[in-house]
Amino acid sequence: MDALRPLPRRDLLPPLALLAGLVGLWQLLAWGLRVPRYILPSPVQIAAAGMSQWQLLAWHSAQTLLETALGLLWALACGFGLALAIDLSPLLRRVLYPLLVASQTVPIMALAPLLVIWFGYGTAPKAVVVALVCFFPIAVATADGLRAADPDLLALLRSMGATRRQILLKVRLPGALPGFFSGLKIAITYSIVGAVIGEWVAAGRGLGVYMIRASNSFLTERVFAAIAVTSLLSIALFLAVAAVERLALPWYYTARREEQWEEVK
CATH code at position 255: 1.10.3720.10
Please tell me the total count of domains within the chain: 1
Q: Convert the pLDDT of each residue in 176-212 to its tens digit.
A: 888 899 999 999 988 998 899 888 887 788 899 999 9
**How many residues does the structure list for the chain?**
265
CA distance 146 to 92: 15
Q: Which of 9-18, 27-36, 144-153 has the lowest mean pLDDT?
A: 9-18
Q: Is residue 107 part of a domain?
A: yes
Q: Is residue 14 part of a domain?
A: no
Higher-pLDDT residue of 230 and 155 is: 230
Q: What is the pLDDT of residue 254?
A: 65
Torsion of CA 217, 48, 238, 263, to 10 degrees: 130
Instruction: Flag whether the pTM goes above 0.75.
Output: yes
Q: What is the pLDDT of residue 55?
A: 93
Q: Is residue 86 part of a domain?
A: yes
Q: What is the mean pLDDT of residues 34-56?
A: 88
Q: Which of 22-31, 164-173, 194-203, 236-245 has the lowest mean pLDDT?
A: 164-173
Say how many C-beta atoms besides its own lie within 10 A of residue 31's C-beta. 11
**Cβ within 8 Å of residue 158, ≥6 positions away:** 167
Q: Is residue 239 part of a domain?
A: yes
Q: Is residue 2 part of a domain?
A: no
Q: Is residue 165 part of a domain?
A: yes
CA distance 75 to 102: 17
Confidence class for position 256, pLDDT limits 50, 70, 90:
low
Which structural domain range is residue 192 located in? 45-264
Q: Is residue 34 part of a domain?
A: no
Q: Does residue 1 carry a pLDDT above 50? A: no
Q: What is the mean pLDDT of residues 135-141?
A: 90
Distances (CA, A) of 86 to 89, 134, 141, 167: 5, 18, 12, 16
CA distance 31 to 34: 5
Q: Is residue 115 part of a domain?
A: yes
Mean predicted lDDT score pLDDT of the chain:
83
